[in-house]
Amino acid sequence: MPDFKAFLSALKDGVKGLITRTLAEHGEAAGKDANAFLEKTRADLERWTKQLAEGALTKDDFAFLVKGKADLAEMEALKQAGLALVRVDQFRKSVFDLVVGTATKMFVKV
Amino acid sequence: MNPQVLRPRHPAAPALRRFSPAVVLTILLAPIVTTCAPTISQFSPIAYEQATSLKVDAQALMSKATQPYANHEEAVTALTLRVAKAYEFARGRRRNAISARQWEILADSSRNLLGGFLARWKRESTLSATFVTEAKGVVADAFDTIIGLESGKLKPDNVK
């Protein structure tokens, strides 16, 4: 029968891989979202400033839209916070599957 | 010097040796299993449908804000009610505070998204076409943050 040391060593390698994968995936997705948001905000502000100068938007319109962007940034941050929690749940499930899978492979005779 | 003498030994070690690996494994896994309750709600098709449907309806109604508010008051009241129901649905789900907070910001009439837009329309009767177009874009993005979070949640099949 395999010993506990081998079991723990197998687990350690698996968990290391899981952590690396989870952090990389989350970092990439969050970075993409942040860049897209900043890029869109830059384009919107540029257009709104031009529309304000041309008189197509009033000062109140402009202020409303800029404040709306700030509210939107808060909602985007909430989305990212929620998705980070989803990753935590995914990670915990993966750790559980890894422990059970490794233990079954090493200790349970078929 | 014999290293065995220096190695600290857990008081329960002799007792644990009497159990089979399967029993020890169960003891080790118990904390993982019991703490496996999700930290955020799972995906809800109802919440997803509410958000996508309200996004389309809100955009359609906002387009009419170049016309007098009085002509569309009933439609505004109906939409506001549906948004309030979506918020209550989100608030009532366990571990769903983040989504509920998103709905709250979107609907808040003192802020500058859907709730604020409808309040301004009521106050000023009509709004300019340029402003309506630009505000629609911001509100659409706000709905997308709600939809994006909901669709990113784990499906019940992925949790088992």
At CB < 8 Å, which residues of chain B contact A?
A: 21-22, 24-25, 28-29, 32-33, 35-36, 38-40, 98-99, 101-102, 105-106, 111-113, 116-117, 120, 128, 130-131, 134-135, 137-139, 141-142, 145-146, 148-149, 152-154, 158-159
Chain B hits for A82, CB-CB cut-off 8 Å, are 40, 98-99, 149, 152-153
B59 in any annotated domain:
yes
What is the distance between the terminal CA atoms of chain A, rounded to a whole angstrom? Answer: 13
CB atoms within 10 A of CB B32: 13
Interface test with B, best of A41, A46, A64 (most B CBs within 10 A): A64
C-alpha triplet A79, A84, A87: angle, nearest 5° = 130
Does residue A51 belong to the interface with chain B, where contact is any CB pair within 8 Å?
Answer: yes
How many domains would you assign to chain B?
1
Which pLDDT belongs to residue B1?
45
> What are the tokens at B91?
């608030």
| Residue B92: pLDDT band with limits 50, 70, 90 | very high
State CA A45 to chain mean position distance.
26
Closest Cβ opposite residue B36 in set A67, A86, A96? A96
Q: Is residue B82 part of a domain?
A: yes
Length of chain A equals: 110
Q: Is the complex ipTM more than 0.90?
A: no
Residue A28 tokens read as 């990439």
Q: Evaluate whether residue B2 is within a structural domain.
A: no
Residue B120 Cα distances to A72, B13, B113, B116, angstroms = 18, 71, 10, 6
pLDDT of B23 over the 90 cut = no
pLDDT at B5: 47
Nearest Cα of chain A lies from the Cα of B160 at a distance, in angstroms, of: 9
Nearest by Cα to A64 from B68, B113, B115:
B113
Nearest to A100, CA basis, from B38, B36, B16, B10: B36
CA distance B16 to chain A (A): 13
CB-based contact A79 B40, cutoff 8 Å: no
Is the per-residue pLDDT at B25 higher than 90? no
Q: Which residue of chain A comes nearest to B135, CA vs CA?
A: A65
Shortest CB distance from A107 goes to which of B25, B139, B158? B25
Whether B111 is in a domain gets the answer yes
Which pLDDT score, from 0 to 100, does residue A54 have? Answer: 97
- Which positions in chain A touch B131 (Cβ < 8 Å)? 57-58, 61, 64-65
Summarised one tens digit per residue, pLDDT across range B130-140 is 999 999 999 99
Q: Is residue B37 part of a domain?
A: no
* Strands in B50-158 per DSSP E: none
- Tell if the pTM clears 0.90, that is, is over it: no
Whether residue B106 is contained in a domain is answered as yes
CA of B154 vs chain A CAs: smallest distance (Å): 7
Residue type, B4: Q
Q: What is the pLDDT of residue B26?
A: 58
R_g of chain B computed on alpha carbons? 27
Q: Which domain holds residue B109?
A: 45-158
B1 domain residue, yes or no: no
Q: What was the pLDDT predicted at B28?
A: 63
What tens digit of pLDDT does each residue of A44-100 get? 999 999 999 999 999 999 999 999 999 999 999 999 999 999 999 988 888 888 888
For the segment B57-85, what is each residue's pLDDT rounded down to a tens digit? 999 999 999 999 999 999 999 999 999 99
Half-sphere exposure at residue B136, Cβ-oriented, CA atoms within 13 angstroms: 18
Domain assignment present for B124: yes
Distance from CA of B96 to the nearest CA of A (A): 9
> Which pLDDT does position A7 carry in this prediction?
81
